[in-house]
Amino acid sequence: MDNDVNTSLLQEIRDLLIPITAHYQPEYEERLQIQRREKALRLAQMVKGRQARSACLMMDGTNEQSKIREMTGIASGNLSPLITRLGEEGMLTADSDRNKPALIFSKTELEEIFGG
């Protein structure tokens, strides 16, 4: 019986929160878009060289650091700190493996960020 009461109370709370959530949803989504644009601008400022940009384009979670270095020619001494900084700036996905980094941006978005 306690479970029924708890479930009922939780459903009532949920029902009361739905209109509040709906009211603030557009504002919340706008803030997320602004934060994403700011991250894109920071990425463009951080990643200047051709090799670093090529490395970022390969950071989709499927490529190991060794493959990224091999394919782009970026030095290990440049790639590892770049990945660390990207993580610190919140530009890697939450489930990103440091050995197989994945940026929060798609390849298409990265090409726009890097100007082509």
Report pTM: 0.76
pLDDT higher for 81 or 3?
Answer: 81
Has domain 2-113 been given CATH number 1.10.287?
no
- Whether residue 1 is predicted with pLDDT greater than 70 in this model: the reply is no
- In the block, tokens 């650091």 appear at 65
Q: How many CB atoms lie within 10 A of CB 85?
A: 13
Model confidence at 81, pLDDT cuts 50, 70, 90, reads very high
Task: Tell me the per-residue pLDDT of 12-57, one tens digit each, with 9 for 90 and over.
Answer: 999 999 999 899 999 999 999 999 999 999 999 999 899 999 999 9
Could you state, in order of their start, the residue ranges of all structural domains in the chain? 2-113
- Distance between CA 86 and CA 81 in Å, rounded? 9
- Distance between CA 86 and CA 82 in Å, rounded? 6
Q: What are the φ and ψ backbone dihedral angles of 93, each rounded to 5 degrees? A: -65, 155
- Whether residue 94 is predicted with pLDDT greater than 70 in this model: the reply is yes
Q: How is residue 40 written in tokens?
A: 């894109």
- Whether residue 63 is predicted with pLDDT greater than 90 in this model: the reply is yes
